[in-house]
Amino acid sequence: MIKVVVFKTSNYPVSSPYLKKKVRAFLEAKGIKSDTEVFISFVSKPRMIQIAKKYLKEDSVHNVFSFTEKEVATPFVYPPGNFAQLGEVVICYPKAVEEAKKEGLTMDEKIWQLVEHGLMHLLGYHHN
């Protein structure tokens, strides 16, 4: 079973059931079949800057970060359980809104683009 936890630091209008379904289907298509847990977090610009400062020593807003369990001392979203921890995808919702408008995408399209990008990193695919 693939467990997807969606965490929002504000009342961002993200459809958690829709997103969970897409994440499960994506991971299953990539061959993930065992008990796995992944976290998808939506944060503000100030929170994303805090994360960038801590992990990249940068004072900037990124649209998405992904962290495996090994990359952070304490995860942004907690509850550990009996599932293998794939990691966490952190999305700056306000930055995603800006990018969606600029790129002519719906919010669902932009959110999925960022989530998929983060998941690919968690699965070991990296770009240069």
- Distance CA(79)–CA(90), nearest Å, equals 16
pLDDT at 85: 80
Query: 73 or 32, which is more confident?
Result: 32
- Distance CA(88)–CA(127), nearest Å, equals 18
H helical segments located in the chain: 16-29, 45-56, 93-103, 107-122
| Mean pLDDT, all residues of the chain | 87
Domain definitions of the chain by residue range: 2-122
Instruction: Check whether 124 has a pLDDT greater than 90.
Output: no
pLDDT in tens, 3-20: 999 999 888 999 999 999
Looking at CATH, the fold of the domain delimited by 2-122 is given as: Collagenase (Catalytic Domain) (3.40.390)
Residue among 89, 111, 116, 115 at smallest CA distance from 100: 111
pLDDT at 35: 84
In percent, the amount of the chain with pLDDT more than 70 equals 87
pLDDT in tens, 52-69: 998 889 999 999 999 886
pLDDT in tens, 59-96: 999 999 998 866 654 454 445 566 678 889 999 999 99
